[in-house]
Amino acid sequence: MTVNDPARLRQFSIFARLDDEEIDALAAQLDTKQYLKGQRLFSIGDEGGSMFLVSSGQIELYMLDNDGEKIVLGASGPGDLFGEMSLIDNQPRSAYAKALEDTEVFVAVQEDLTNLVRAHPDAALDLLAMFSHRLRAADERARERGIRNANAEISQLPTNLGDRLADLLTKAASNIKFTYFSVFWFASWITINLGLIPFIKPFDPYPFGFLTMVVSLEAIFLSLFVLISQDRQSAHDKIRNDIEYDVNVRAELEVRDLVRHMDEMEQAQLQTLAKLNTLETHLSSEIGKTLTRKRETANSTGDYE
């Protein structure tokens, strides 16, 4: 069905420079389509080659990431257009479009746009401006919704030689092999300095003063390095907790959105049932009136049995 009121095309900026005759000619070429709330206009991979102009209602444009999560690219209301990329390159659709409410759109094919640009080159600038605006909005939304990678952010934290050394020593000291090495080292030190090996002269006799100093220094430095490593680990845990909190908030918002959609579906069903009940009551009333008139007619003619 073509556009029944050519003046409605004036709400679109790309048609602002057309005169009345050109508007009438364009209106005769465009198709008008109606979509119910929740109805999908097209999906990724659908055949392109056409552009949609929103006359009334609201359209949501979105994509799905690798995890199946919806990425909202934007919404188009009265006076907006979408699907123009597929119209220009004649490639399959690169996004999904769904009606957020009962919507009416005008559909323009590639030939319509070609004739418009040839007659009014300035209209191409309006299209380019819309492309730029939509790309910027999509980039901004992608940055806002992007879930951070904890490992990537942790790897980007600044480190110095002391931090790396602390991590290395803490990792080594927490290994069971370090315990085995310490037991072997202490046992060897004590055995040698007790004179239990005849051909080796003790260098730190009992009560092992030098061993005590070495062990004390080792404990001090290991404690310091462990504290440094724990402080860095606390910073890492904070990043992970922040990301986990962000994910939980997003999940809660998705659940709320799902509940809202379910409520809307319930209200729509109740409204439909109410309309059906009203229609049933009206039909029953009309049928009753018809039967009454037939009885009266039959009684008046004497044919009613």
| pLDDT confidence of residue 151 | 61
Same domain, 197 and 91: no
Same-domain pairing of 22 and 135: yes
Q: Domain end: 145, 168, 200, which one?
A: 145
Same domain for 114 and 75: yes
More confident residue, 76 or 66: 76
Instruction: Report residue 207: phi and psi, to 5°.
Output: -95, 30
Question: pLDDT tier at 304 (50, 70, 90 boundaries)?
Answer: very low
8 A C-beta contact, residue 61 and residue 73: yes
User: In the structure, what pLDDT confidence band is assigned to residue 130 with cuts at 50, 70 and 90?
Assistant: low
**Domain with 45 in it:** 6-145
Based on the fold, state whether residues 264 and 237 are members of the same structural domain. Answer: yes
Q: How far apart are CA 84 and CA 173, in angstroms?
A: 62
Closest CA to 285 of 274, 295, 293, 297: 293
Kindly report the pTM of this predicted structure.
0.45
* Residue 11 pLDDT > 70: yes
Per the CB < 8 A criterion, the answer to whether 162 and 225 are in contact is no
Domain for residue 288, yes or no? no
Residue 78 lies in a domain: yes
At 32, phi and psi to the nearest 5? -110, 135
Alpha-carbon distance of 36 to 105, in angstroms, equals 11
Partners of 54 in beta bridges: 105
If asked whether residues 165 and 90 sit together in one domain, one would say: no
Task: Say which range, 15-24, 138-147, 203-212, 285-294, has the weakest mean pLDDT.
Answer: 138-147
Give the per-residue pLDDT at 152. 63
pLDDT at 95: 85
